[in-house]
Amino acid sequence: MTQTTEAPAPGIGGRAGAGAVPAPRATTFAKALNAALADAMEADAAVLMFGEDVGPLGGVFRITDGLTARFGEERCFDTPLAEAGIMGMAVGMAMNGMKPVVEMQFDAFAYPAFEQVVSHVAKMPNRTKGKVRLPIVIRIPYAGGIGGVEHHCDSSEAYYAHTPGLTVLAPATVRDAYFMLREAIASPDPVVFLEPKKLYWSKEEVDLAELRRTFDDGEAPRRIGRAVVARPGTDATLISYGPSVPTALAAAAAAAEEGRSIEVIDLRSIVPFDDETVCASVRRTGRAVVVAEAPGFASVASEIVARVQERCFHSLAAPVLRVTGFDIPYPSPKLEHFYLPSVDRILDAVDDLQWEDRP
């Protein structure tokens, strides 16, 4: 299950100059999502993109940049400003043969669509015994860390993860952004696709044309329901997803300097949850900390702790701990760094994992 080859490529240097094969270029997370949308629309005429400001503007984060110009306003279009309308219309379009990808402008503005999501998107396939499939992707720019004002930074994954019938994904790397969005669009089930806003401008050296070839040839390993070891280690496991993965990786790097080998799991897929990869890691290391940005109470982090205790109890040398946001509404920009899980807070939690060999 370990796919360390999928980890971010190392920095530039030593690469041969321009030859027949173009060198991978620094590509942002946002650009990878844009390419995934364009490639999916190119590959399948049933794929449509709509929402607020996604047309000529290209979305407030430019994820849909150029799609209207390239595919026409029937394939990528602006709707009236009404999230339930966007969501409900997507249900009908999916019922009638389309594969709608909708953009909710920000996490907290998806709430007007919540009834459509939980009552219909999530339930329609089940209540019709699979007769009606809803291959809808709900893209949500999500979570904080960008100095945004309130209502632009919510971590809403628990609401969706608590609703059976929804697949809930949160990529953390540029490659995953591309592959997971393509996989989400190809899925016959509805997918809530959470895009960590603070990672939109993160970069990796990837060749988008190569990613497209890999996906179209069916060679990209499946990501829905599959976690990945983002950094191998032996002493403890950090379990994370989406915006918190880079923080967890930074904490693991810092711990290495102190002589601790920390493994980092990037879940990628919150629902379905990859018990296998998570438990295999925790059984190996015997210690675990869950890192997530959402308030901790009744959260996805809580669920992961419970699952790990239930399944790995006999392998555990210490209780499974959590480093999460506080149980407060998302704070204002000047205060958000007090709220967000930090490297220090993660290292403190790791220190609390009852190490016998050290004080």
Partner 1 sequence: MGGAPGGTPSTAAHALLPSVDPVQLVDPDGHASHDERYPLPDGRRLLDAYGRLVAGRRINDQANALVRQGRLAVYPSSHGQEACQVAAAVVLGEEDWLFPTYRDTVAVITRGVDPLEVLTLLRGDWHAGYDPYEHRVATQATPLATQLLHAVGVAHAAKLRGESTVVLAMCGDGATSEGDFHEALNFAAVFHVPVVFFIQNNEFAISVPLKNQTVAPSLAHKAIGYGMPGERVDGNDLAALLAVLGAAVDRARDGGGPSLVEAHTYRMQAHTNADDATRYRSADDVERWVPKDPIVRMRAYLRGLDLLTDEGERILADEADVVAAAIRAGLNTEVDVNPQELFEYVYTEKTSQLREQAALLREELERDADAAAAGTGGSMEGDQR
Query: Quick one: 98 or 254, whose CB is closer to partner 1?
Result: 98
* Cβ atoms of 236 and 288 closer than 8 Å: yes
Query: Quick one: 120 or 260, whose CB is closer to partner 1?
Result: 120
Is residue 5 a contact residue for partner 1 (CB under 8 A)? no
Query: Quick one: 202 or 299, whose CB is closer to partner 1?
Result: 299
Least distance (Å) from partner 1 to the CB of residue 135?
Answer: 9
Across 34-175, the runs of DSSP E, i.e. the strands, are: 47-51, 76-78, 99-103, 137-142, 167-169
Near partner 1 by CB under 8 A, which window of 1-9, 11-19, 183-191, 317-325? Answer: 183-191
Q: Within 10 Å of residue 272's Cβ, how many Cβ atoms? A: 12
Identify residues 259-318 at the interface with partner 1 (CB under 8 A). 271-273, 275-276
Closest CA to 145 of 193, 201, 227: 201
* Catalytic-role residue among 120, 151, 152, 337: 152
- Distance, in Å, from the CA atom of 319 to the CA atom of 303, rounded to the nearest integer, reads 14
Among 133, 203, 283, 345, binds partner 1 (CB under 8 A): 133
Is residue 358 a contact residue for partner 1 (CB under 8 A)? no
Which run of H or of E encompasses 156?
none
Q: Show the binding pattern over residues 20-49: x = contacts partner 1 (CB under 8 A), - = does not.
A: ----------------------------x-
Query: Quick one: 122 or 252, whose CB is closer to partner 1?
Result: 122
Identify residues 197-256 at the interface with partner 1 (CB under 8 A). 225
Is residue 126 a contact residue for partner 1 (CB under 8 A)? yes
- Distance, in Å, from the CA atom of 31 to the CA atom of 196, rounded to the nearest integer, reads 14
Is residue 167 a contact residue for partner 1 (CB under 8 A)? yes
Least distance (Å) from partner 1 to the CB of residue 158?
Answer: 16
Q: Give catalytic status of residue 120 as yes or no.
A: no
Least distance (Å) from partner 1 to the CB of residue 232?
Answer: 23
Is residue 51 a contact residue for partner 1 (CB under 8 A)? no
Is residue 165 a contact residue for partner 1 (CB under 8 A)? yes
156's CB contacts (< 8 A; 6+ apart) are: 107, 108, 110, 140, 142, 194, 294
Report phi then psi at 272, rounded to 5. -65, 150
Which strands form 236-240's sheet, in the order they lie side by side? Answer: 228-231, 262-266, 236-240, 288-295, 321-325
CA separation, residue 100 to residues 23, 49, 117, 164 (Å):
34, 6, 14, 20
Query: Quick one: 116 or 281, whose CB is closer to partner 1?
Result: 116
Measured at the CA of 269, the angle between CA 248 and CA 29, to 5 degrees, comes to 65
Is residue 186 a contact residue for partner 1 (CB under 8 A)? no
Q: Is the peptide bond before 100 cis (omega within 30 degrees of 0)?
A: no
Which residues carry out catalysis? 152
Query: Which chain residues interact with partner 1 by CB under 8 A?
Result: 48, 50, 72-77, 79-80, 82, 84-85, 87-98, 100, 112, 115-116, 119-120, 123-133, 164-165, 167, 187-189, 225, 271-273, 275-276
